[in-house]
Every structure is written in C-alpha cells, then in structure tokens.
Amino acid sequence: MIIQCPECGFKIEIDETKYEGGSVQEFACPKCGNPYKISIPKEKEEDEEETVPASQSQQTPPAPPVPPVSPRQPQSQPGPQPQPSYEPQPQQYEPQPQYEPQPQYEPQSSSSGSGMKVGLTLLALALLVCGAVAYFAWYKPYQRDKNAPRTYSIANSVNLRSSKDAGGDYNKIRSVPYGSELITYDDDGEWAHVKDADGNEGYMASMYLTDKADFLLLNSIFGDQESRENVSTIKCRKALLNYYKANGLIGKLSSENLKIVDPNFVPSSDNQWQVFCRAKGVKPNNVFFPRLINPNSKFTDFAVTIKNIENGQRRTLLFTFDDDETPHYVTYINAPEEGYIEDMIVYDGQISARYSY
C-alpha cells in the first residue's frame, strides 16, 4: 500500500501483509523526518477489494488507501480511497549537495585581464616617456658633445659670450683661460659656438681657437712661463706657429703629444727650438717690436729670439702683419749664444740687430 506524509506529502510504499490487520503502526517520513501513525486495513476489507470483478479491476484498479493520519490529530476510520489509474513510484529521498559558491573565474579573469592590459599600457607609456626624456635630455646632448670637435683657447684670456657681439659686458658669460678645451658645435670663421668644461655654452671669437695638434705645437714653443707672457698677442703666437709648421720645427714635446702633432715627425738636433724670455716688461728681452718693414702699418713688427734646445744655437726671427693681423715671415738673424735684443735697424737694405751682453 502507498502511504503519504501528512506534513510534506512524500509518498512511500509499504507491505501491509507484514502487519496485523486493524493495527496502528508508526512511521517516520524519510524526507522531512515527521513521525505519523497508519492504521493497517483488516483482512475482510482486503477480501472485499479482491471480490471486485476482474474486468473492473483491469480498467481502473484501485490503489491502496492512504489514510490521512496526522500525529497531532485523532485518526479517522481508514477506508478505501479512489486512486488515479496509475501507481506513482516511490520517491527515494536523495539529499541534495549543499550549494558552494564557485569562484567567479570569468569575471575575475576579465577584470584582471583588463587591469593587466591597462597596467601594461601605462608601463609602455611610462617607458616611452622616460625613453623620450632620456633621449632628448641626455643621449642626444651626449652624442652631440661626443661627435663635436674639440678646440683650444690660445689667448691668455678670452670672453665667452651669450651672443655674437663683442665690445661689451652685457653678454659676457665668463673669461676662458689659455689652453681651455672647448666643445665646438659650429664655426663660421668669425664666431664659434662652443661649450666649456663647466657646461657654459656660448660664442667665442674664432681667431682665439685652434685644434689640439696646433695647440700642442704652439705650447711646446714656450720654454717657460715668461716666454708665453711676453709673446702674448694672438697675431704673434700665430706668427710663431706658422713658422714652425712651415719649417718642420717643434718645441719640447712628450712622445704621446708628438704623435698627435705629427706621428711621422722625428726629433733631431736641428729641429727642436724654443723661446726663453725674461719677465714681462723687463728690457732688454728676447722679444722686440720695431717698425722696420712698414712704418705706416697698423701694427708694429715682431722680433723674437729662439734657441735650439739640443746645441744651444740661437736665431732672431722677424715678422710683419697686415691690417687684419695676418702674419708674414720676413727673415731671421743669427744671434749670439747670450744676450737680449737691444735694437734692430735696416741699413743698406739689410736688417741687423744689436744685443746686450
């Protein structure tokens, strides 16, 4: 027979032949656990049910009665109940698994993926910006300075200016001393765009600058500090430099600097000459400024005594200048081993010098 829980309506099938007819049995609902009582039908009721004609039984077989029994109410007298034409199968209670929220992989993946894309984009932009800043702020200036030629100041002091305008102090940045190395970006023949060792960038008159080889050669000519101070003007220094280059002479150079000046130069007892002077302003001296060649010239002539540092031989050189300061070598006079230039004269077309002893 089929019995039904009065609480939840869950139906189960029991074998009533196992119980005494007319007895009351207790059951517990396997689904909700509710206890309830069922009256077992008597045998005569079962016999009466069995006397139902077979034809009628085949058409609509009656289902076993399900007494409406409640544990909280008195039970009514059980009797046969009309049932549907089919017998429902007993439903076995299967406990359902508790719901466990699954991790939201897809939303997280989408969110983290989007966040990663944004992060990578921002990182790429940051690297791009940093790269651009580094390129323009550091690398490009570095390459510019690295590839620019170096020049050297050959004046005792020359002004570095913020513009191509001489003769005033309004655009003066600083004074650059003799021998200063300058990064030279451009040189139009009158002004050079340069930067000094302290990072000051500006303009300097081109006539005060020369390349490293010429600077080393010029500097080698001065045998002492006094000689450089006496040969103080740019036109006189260039006159000496040109003479040494034209005649294959050098001053005193280290082997490393000699390779820069001329890798093929071989020093000998004939080609090493220097200037030696007394203190500047002391007369007589080994420099002299007569007016012999062109008395009407804008500049005086320039005479200087040089000495062979190997054999002690001396000679006095004479130069003259154009109005644009271009030097010209005139001649030389053999000088005694000792003495300073007292005077120079032209007599009968010959230039001679008088020395003090």
Low-confidence stretches of the chain (pLDDT beneath 70): 43-112
pTM over 0.85: no
DSSP bridge pairs for 39: 24
* Domain boundaries of the chain, sorted by first residue: 1-100, 146-210, 213-356
pLDDT at 164: 95
Structure tokens at 254: 């280290």
Nearest to 240 by CA among 319, 312, 301: 319
pLDDT at 108: 52
Distances (CA, A) of 333 to 24, 114, 199, 270, 302: 157, 91, 47, 16, 13
Q: Which helix (H) or strand (E) holds 4?
A: strand 2-4
Structure tokens at 155: 């004046």
pLDDT at 100: 56
For the segment(s) 146-210, the CATH number from 1.10.357.10, 2.60.120.560, 2.30.30.40, 3.40.50.720 is 2.30.30.40
Q: For residues 91 and 87, what is the distance between their CA atoms, to the nearest angstrom?
A: 12
Q: Mean pLDDT in the chain?
A: 84
Q: For residues 218 and 156, what is the distance between their CA atoms, to the nearest angstrom?
A: 13
Q: Which helix (H) or strand (E) holds 70?
A: none
Read off φ and ψ for residue 179, nearest 5 degrees: 85, 5
Residue matched to tokens 């008088």: 354
pLDDT at 95: 53
Structure tokens at 261: 């000046």
What are 202-247's pLDDT values in tens digits? Answer: 999 999 999 999 999 999 999 999 999 999 999 999 999 999 999 9
